Structure 1
Amino acid sequence: MVLPKTISSPSPLDPLLLLPIPSPLPPSPQPDLDPLVNSISSHIDSTEGQIPITVLTSAIRQITRKSQILLNAARVNAAQARDELDNVDEELREVEYESTRVNDEMRKCSEYVPAYEEMDLPFIEEFLSSADESILSSLPSQDSEEYENQLMIARLEHELKEIEKRENQVTQLSKQRDNLIKTKKEIKMKFDAVDVHLGGFSRSANAVASKLKDVAEIPSAKIPQISLEGESTSST
């Protein structure tokens, strides 16, 4: 019997690779391997008391079958473990991303400066002295943990009302300004019309004055004598 010198990789269509994986798995063939090797060696070296070759090949097939089943199970388990590792790695990356994002948001929150802290709010004493009684009665007691928060909210609401009041005043003033601008334009249009009439009247007056001046400069000898009918009869 000639043993092969090289062992090629198994074909994907090898029946041994397609063996179903039983449950439970068969035991390891390692304990049966050494006696089988000794039996094969004695079969090769001596001719007496040999174990039939069919028995040896059957034992080889059984060991090969068990080994292949265990190998297939190991491959399946390795593939499942690889998939689980990939899933865990993906989840870990997601957790790291979320952790980084949460840390960034926490840093932004810690560095955030509320806008109301930069507002020019009235002092607390001034607010308490000028606020309505309904607002003061709605505040919790000063010993309460919510007092500072509710007081700040009341101050902001009061400031909001003041801002809205000033905005209404600005709106009214803007309307008055627009009306004044409109009235000014109308007055200017009337003034321009009067100026045009005055210009025309001035030109007409200048023309009349010029003609009167020309008439005044004519000598009296050149003016024809126009006698009345009564005067001509008396002279006759």
Structure 2
Amino acid sequence: MSQEVVVACRSYSLSETLRSAELAPIFADAWTASRVWEASRFLAERLARFPSAAFDVGDGASVLELGSGCGLAGLVAAALGADVLLTDQREALELLQRNVEANAASESERARLRVAEFVWGSDCALPRSCYRYILVSDCINPIYGQQSWRDLASSIHRLSGPETVTYLVHEARGEDEAMTDFLAFSADMLQCERVDQQGRISLFRSMAAAGGCDCSGERTALREDPNTLALTRFSQVH
């Protein structure tokens, strides 16, 4: 099953089908990756409409999407010129890869899209130690449990340099204690402000309050494993 989504006059065909081998953990929350959520649409549309001062990716700026799901926001970022790493849990990687292959409009755009497994709160290495932009949509949800969004906050902070901007979209559900807890927990790590709202969906902009990572002088290369779709980080020889 696929969903057709139009963003900035461009159509994206997004597979929402997990294959049989990916269905085992479905009740553990992996199934949430196989749907194009309204928050993801909202973020993608805002990215396409942002002025360059708010989302300056035309020169291949690095973008990390956490909890990518079907990958819509990351795909739109790549279409705008960004160098994008789409991440999710292992069960969602093949779905993500299919959507990359189906929607890259050119070889150059395809070359700017990578897929990797990343577990929030883990210390596993990504191709970069920090990113110019981090994208998050609908990842703060009671079904994931309190520790999940606290791990998310910690990962955003760890992967943020002094100039990193995170755009986080949240859809409020019920009394929305999840978002309240996220903001309280991350207050010492992230400076968050609500910059847009439509109904129950809000867009937050955040930057690292202190600490984070030092991106200066880093050079990395990517090596893709065709069997696992994971990416291995390795240093270039100077």
TM over 0.5, yes or no?
no
Band of TM-score, shorter chain: under 0.3
Of structures 1 and 2, the one with the larger relative CO (CA 8 A, separation 6+) is 2
> If each structure's strand is expressed as a fraction of its own residues, which one has the higher value?
2
TM-score in terms of structure 2 length: 0.15
TM-score in terms of structure 1 length: 0.15
> If each structure's helix is expressed as a fraction of its own residues, which one has the higher value?
1
